[in-house]
Amino acid sequence: MKGLAEYAMRGRRQAIIAVLLTGLFPMIYCFSAAIVGLVNLRKSASEGLIILLWSLLPAALFWMAGDSIPMVLMLSTAILAQALKHFKSWSKMIMLGTVLGILTQLSLVWQGAYVAQLVSLVEEVILVQQSQGIVVEYSANEVVNLLLSFYGAYHFATVIFCLALARWWQAVLYNPGGFKTEFHQFKLEPGFAILLASFIVAALAGVPPLSNWLAIMCIPPLLGGLALLHYMVAFKKMGFSWVGMAYLLALFVSPVVILLGLLDSILNFRKRIAGA
């Protein structure tokens, strides 16, 4: 992957070739978005815009085939890359990313025909299950709301992955170790964490429309919790296997990591660990 980043940063022509080729294939168009992010992080906004526009060409092919994810992914990655470059703060960038994730979900909710088609498909599946004697305890609308919620969360998580890859590339090429330091120090703004915690509690209580955004709102504190666990492993020199355990913890007991991320934003566990 480092070789791809080196090639893309040789010049505009190479960056254009890289985003066009990687953007054509479903399994690797994330690399196209990461290149867009890298150029926006490292070079001027005008240069970043040029590469973004070229990356939208293969994304437009997916759009015409009914898949809007690559198009939204390229645009969101470029926007958040510029935000990270301007604010020099992962926390502020994550705040903006959360808003973009919610807007992405709403963009589908507002497409009445698309939602109606989803409801129709789910109703057909439910009818098939009922004809087989299966008791269905959920409605088609509930299933569609869940699908739309996870679409927004999936988009948000993918954008953050692409931007993290871009930032890692930038560090490897121009500032070795910089990404590690940045990520280890990442924690949410206290006010944002309190707001998220309030919204998450309301969402768990079923308050609309917050209940539809629960998965999206859990991503920022989950990242904060993972960043803290990374810091602890590095500070205590505990070995790479502990990093794997941290991700297993995030996978199987994610509420614990989310709570850790929320508490860290207020209590600053890093300061306590360093002073211990």
203's enclosing H/E stretch is helix 190-204
Q: Which domain holds residue 247?
A: 185-276
End-to-end CA distance of the chain: 38
How confident is the prediction along the chain (276 residues), in pLDDT tens digits per residue? Answer: 789 999 999 999 999 999 999 999 988 999 999 999 999 999 999 999 999 999 999 999 998 987 888 999 999 999 999 999 999 999 999 999 999 999 988 887 776 666 677 777 877 777 777 777 776 677 777 777 777 788 889 899 999 999 999 999 999 999 988 898 899 999 999 999 999 999 999 999 988 888 889 999 999 999 999 999 999 888 888 877 888 888 888 888 899 999 999 999 999 888 888 766
Residue 267 lies in a domain: yes
Question: What's the farthest any 2 CA atoms get from each other in the chain?
Answer: 64
Number of domains in the chain: 1
Residue 250 lies in a domain: yes
Residue 59 lies in a domain: no
What does DSSP assign to residue 167? H
Closest C-alpha to 129, from 117, 140, 145: 140
Residue 217 lies in a domain: yes
Residue 209 lies in a domain: yes
What does DSSP assign to residue 210? G
What does the alpha-carbon distance between residue 102 and residue 11 come to, in Å, rounded to a whole number? 35
Residue 257 lies in a domain: yes
Contact 155, 69 (CB under 8 A): yes
pTM here is 0.89
* Helices 140-174 and 69-87: angle between axes, nearest 10 degrees: 50
Q: Report the C-alpha dihedral over residues 57, 61, 66, 71, rounded to 10 degrees.
A: -20
Residue 102 lies in a domain: no
What is the distance, to the nearest Å, from the Cα of residue 205 to the centroid of all Cα atoms in its chain? 25
Contact 152, 104 (CB under 8 A): yes
Residue 43 lies in a domain: no
